[in-house]
Chain A
């Protein structure tokens, strides 16, 4: 069972519908017990960094413990950004700190938010991105992650090259929304369920 963390943010029905569509057993939950019992954890998220961290406070330890034990984790959009140390969106607020680095405002020159369908620039082999070539994925964000170290599996071009996929051990995260990216997005979720079974 995949636990989709409900922390009062965003559109959870879409992500659970998407997992149902590919035949995966997923449950929207805020219970630590359910997260502990799950085979994998999904952290969705839209909204602001600061308010998300505030709402995640209760689940913080549970998430860190489960990831520490090696459980597959998928962060989506803001669920990617909160993995880092901090964000310009909410100065002074501490992220989960699982991936060193910062989240910065998308620089002027292009429209913000980066909203719509964009392609990936693949940086290295990744099981999550297996089969991805020139497909488009749906992005909507005003901030972008700048992680340190060799953790970026794919970027996307929006005037500047921005982080699109972070992977570090059992942590996987996409800046785009696989649950809103048509069949290409469902393939990413299928790849994630493949990682869970492996």
Chain B
């Protein structure tokens, strides 16, 4: 049976030589967490199923630094690597794949230019094209209020989910579930779904969001944003129907190392690779 994947995420600030891993809270406050290559290697040795590098600075010259980080990492890390941030053109995918990455994730560039997904998936294959969606709850009074949006019942009412771009700084009016379905149609191989409401809170993933997304897609969904305890990951895999779970700070600050999370999941009957 296919195992559920545990994916540590490294948010990288590349303004310093060799980069450094940072962690934000609700897309804002920043804490320093370590060296990207060292952390990735540690997670590999701990049994991470995949590793995501997110360039939170994402300017043109810093992409060179990311290329070096990927090259150095893949000398010793033999699990899939995904790179996000600053991926704007099909050539960017090729460049990162040449450096040793297996997948590239794009958010803002895909919303601004959806054809990028078609072009990139034709060029490097769907399996390498991850679309990241940063989704924010928008509460409404009545479930009948909307036309084409996905209205979801949550514990404190009804809401739809709006896609955000530029690292949470701008909102688009686009419904996250509809957008994900379009991405799948255009050739995306996977959706990296972050709840902006939960990110950094340690209150758990947004389960209604994750579940609705997974039910409406044929491609894998990675749950992201809000994990504080292994139980949250269990929730994402069971009620949330996620295929993979992404987490940052619980791993960086050694609150729950990867083996601890996996042992817990296995004891709860979730198939994981140990």
Contact = CB atoms under 8 A, between A and B. Distances in A.
Contact of A112 (B4, B97, B125, B218): B218
A116 B124 CA distance: 18
A114 B244 CA distance: 13
A117 B49 contact: yes
A186 B99 CA distance: 20
A48 interface: yes
Interface in A105-155: 108, 111-119, 136, 138, 140-142
B52 to A, nearest CB: 14
Interface range on chain B (Cβ under 8 Å from partner)? 35 or more
A39 B101 CA distance: 28
A90 interface: no
Interface in B223-256: 243-244
A46 B125 contact: yes
Contact of A117 (B2, B127, B217): B2
Contacts of B4: 116
Contacts of B97: 10-11
A17 B100 contact: yes
B74 A21 contact: no
Given A47-B125, A116-B49, A158-B2, A138 B79 contact: yes
B79 A180 contact: yes
Given A116-B243, A117-B3, A157-B1, A111 B219 contact: yes
Contacts of B2: 114, 116-118, 158
A113 B79 contact: no
B79 A13 contact: no
A17 B98 CA distance: 12
Contacts of B98: 11, 13
Contact of A111 (B5, B80, B218): B218
Given A11-B97, A17-B100, A111-B243, A138 B128 contact: no
Nearest to B48: A182
Contact of B5 (A18, A48, A113, A116): A116
Given A115-B127, A116-B2, 18 more contacts: A11-B101, A17-B100, A18-B78, A21-B78, A111-B218, A113-B127, A113-B219, A115-B190, A115-B243, A116-B3, A116-B4, A116-B5, A116-B243, A141-B127, A157-B1, A158-B2, A181-B79, A182-B78
13 contacts: A11-B101, A13-B98, A13-B99, A21-B76, A46-B125, A115-B189, A116-B4, A116-B244, A118-B1, A119-B1, A140-B127, A158-B2, A185-B78
Interface of A: 10-11, 13-14, 17-18, 20-21, 46-48, 108, 111-119, 136, 138, 140-142, 157-158, 179-183, 185-186
